Amino acid sequence: MFCVLQGAFVCGCFHRDPPADVTIMNGAEPESLDPAVVTGIPEMRITKALFEGLTRLDAHTARPVPGLAERWDVSPDGRVYTFHLRTNAVWSTGDPITSADVVWSWLRALNPATAGDYAGQLFCIQGAEDYYNGKLKSRGQLGIRAVDAHTLRADLNLPVPFFLDVCAFPALAVVPRTAIEKYGDRWLHAEPLPTSGAFTLGDWRLNSRVRLLRNPRYWDAAHTASGIIDLLPIGSANTALNLYQTGAADIVWDKDLVPFELLDVLMKRPDFHTFDFLGTCFFRFNTTRAPFNDPRVRRAFALATDRRRLVKKLFPTGEKPAFHFVPDSTANYHPPDGLPFDPAQARQLLAAAGFVNGKTFPGVQYAFPAAAGGAGNVQGKIAVELQQMWRDGLGVNVELRQIERKIFYNAQSRLDYDLSASSWVADYDDPNTFLDLFTANSGNNRTGWKNARYDDLIRRADLQTDTARRAEFFRRAEEILVNDEAPIVPLYFFEGFNYFDPEKIEGIWQNALDEHPLQYIRKIRRRASDGGGAPNHP
């Protein structure tokens, strides 16, 4: 009787929805789906499917290709971009998407009240930073203009060669003015919600799922391969693997959702995929505090760090040791060699700085963040390895300190640390996304390190329109960063992971930005007669 009652009660509490065509384990619960506000990769994957920009990233190469703009002209000095919007681009509600929508969306991203972390992505546009700071005298000074209903002109401060990449970034996506003005912060709950991308938002249940439905009015709807895609937030790597194993999920594509302890087993499977990814794991020195205010000490620590041993011991997935900061596969760039592993030279440098055999070296701490819920404690394992290397190579004992994530990043920003674990993932495929970090005024510098020559080289690279000369300026800057001054020590380049069965899922191509537009992903439904449907390529 008791069981029957409980059973009846439970049955009444659930409602059934049609199954999704593809189910994806997407990582953390999205903090927001507002493209002007999102900061995390799981959110960006969804917002890109809902809201498109003037460009989008190619599913194979992650290079920018036409999005809502079907073509563009660039002035010879690389500072004026004229975009020609598609005349067949409409909102999911049927209204046309015009250049006025683009201008409004960009201004909204640049409005401090929107409170977007990535507002800075638009600062390459003339007057944009002043507009954000409220210093612009007239709107006419801002380099964003709707020339006519389908033409938009953007005037840049510098000849930014990656501006088309920036246009594909969520912060510059085109969002629905009517819904936002009507509903404010709750505009994503509008019904119907007008979207400019390949999907509409079917359902967004917190910590449960985001359901995307094919947008039949999308200009490229003919290539949208699936009708319903579910993206599930998952807090535990083991749960994600179990769900995948039992067929409840088709794709797992977040790095934090791979159980670290099972990596060596998983990577032998045909459905486990690894690929080069534009991201670097490194650590920062606090250059405002002794002893790391002395470049000799910093270089000594870099020379005593055996990156090859580190990756060999910790990563069976083939992470590559990093002696420079910008990953090798970055477009149009040849990074410098960086400091090798040389403990003898390291000891010499440390002795020259006044610490013979590490004696009298002050007590310093290596800070690292606590693992996010469910993720393996990789940073902790790296910290232990580094501690051992410096003890063996330099005779220095470094204390390890694990700190809760928010407190850790706050301490890093306030320069309240000695050595601090760090990582950086590219926003776009260009050395600038890495090297701009350590200019004196960058909010992400977080080392206290300032170098006028470095800043000058980055500025000169930014002004350069010739690709080879630009790369050379960047290379010389990076040499200062990783060889001469070493405010940071690169450790390894990230390897991307995902798992899905290529016999069952198609439309995912591996690329350096881990960019997999949802539009092309679909389940292969094999029929006994033909062995599968027609492949769907962009």
Contact set with other proteins (CB under 8 A) = 2, 6-7, 9-11, 13-14, 16, 29, 31-34, 37, 39, 112-121, 123, 129, 132-133, 185-189, 205-208, 232-236, 238-239, 242-243, 245-246, 248, 373-374, 404-407, 409-411, 413, 422-423, 441-444, 446
Upper half-sphere CA count for residue 277 (Cβ side, 13 Å): 27
Residues 397 and 278: their CA atoms lie apart, in Å, by 32
Kindly tell me which of 373 and 535 has the beta carbon lying closer to other proteins: 373
Kindly tell me which of 442 and 483 has the beta carbon lying closer to other proteins: 442
Q: Shortest Cβ distance from residue 220 to other proteins (Å)?
A: 26
Comparing CA positions, the residue from 239, 278, 198 lying closest to residue 25 is 239
Upper half-sphere CA count for residue 217 (Cβ side, 13 Å): 16
Residue with tokens 């670097």: 280
Kindly tell me which of 112 and 340 has the beta carbon lying closer to other proteins: 112
Q: Shortest Cβ distance from residue 175 to other proteins (Å)?
A: 12
Pairing assessment for the beta strands 364-369 and 419-425 based on DSSP bridges = parallel
Q: Shortest Cβ distance from residue 393 to other proteins (Å)?
A: 28
Q: Shortest Cβ distance from residue 82 to other proteins (Å)?
A: 25
Kindly tell me which of 340 and 373 has the beta carbon lying closer to other proteins: 373
Q: Shortest Cβ distance from residue 132 to other proteins (Å)?
A: 7
Classify residue 240 as exposed, middle or buried by CB count within 10 Å of its CB (0-12, 13-18, 19+).
buried
Kindly tell me which of 29 and 506 has the beta carbon lying closer to other proteins: 29
Q: Shortest Cβ distance from residue 144 to other proteins (Å)?
A: 18
Give backbone dihedrals phi and psi of 69, rounded to 5 degrees, phi first: -90, 130
Type of residue found at 421: A
Kindly tell me which of 9 and 140 has the beta carbon lying closer to other proteins: 9
Which residues have CB under 8 Å from 485's CB, separation 6+? 295, 298, 449, 451, 454
Q: Shortest Cβ distance from residue 120 to other proteins (Å)?
A: 2
Biggest CA pair distance of the chain:
82
Which residues have CB under 8 Å from 154's CB, separation 6+? 80, 81, 82, 83, 125, 143, 144, 163
Which residues have CB under 8 Å from 339's CB, separation 6+? 299, 302, 303, 323, 482, 483, 486
Upper half-sphere CA count for residue 68 (Cβ side, 13 Å): 33
Kindly tell me which of 87 and 208 has the beta carbon lying closer to other proteins: 208
In terms of DSSP H, where are the helices of 66-156?
Answer: 99-109, 128-132
- Copy the structure tokens of residue 363: 């007590």
Q: Shortest Cβ distance from residue 169 to other proteins (Å)?
A: 12
Q: Shortest Cβ distance from residue 117 to other proteins (Å)?
A: 5
Kindly tell me which of 14 and 222 has the beta carbon lying closer to other proteins: 14
Kindly tell me which of 57 and 119 has the beta carbon lying closer to other proteins: 119
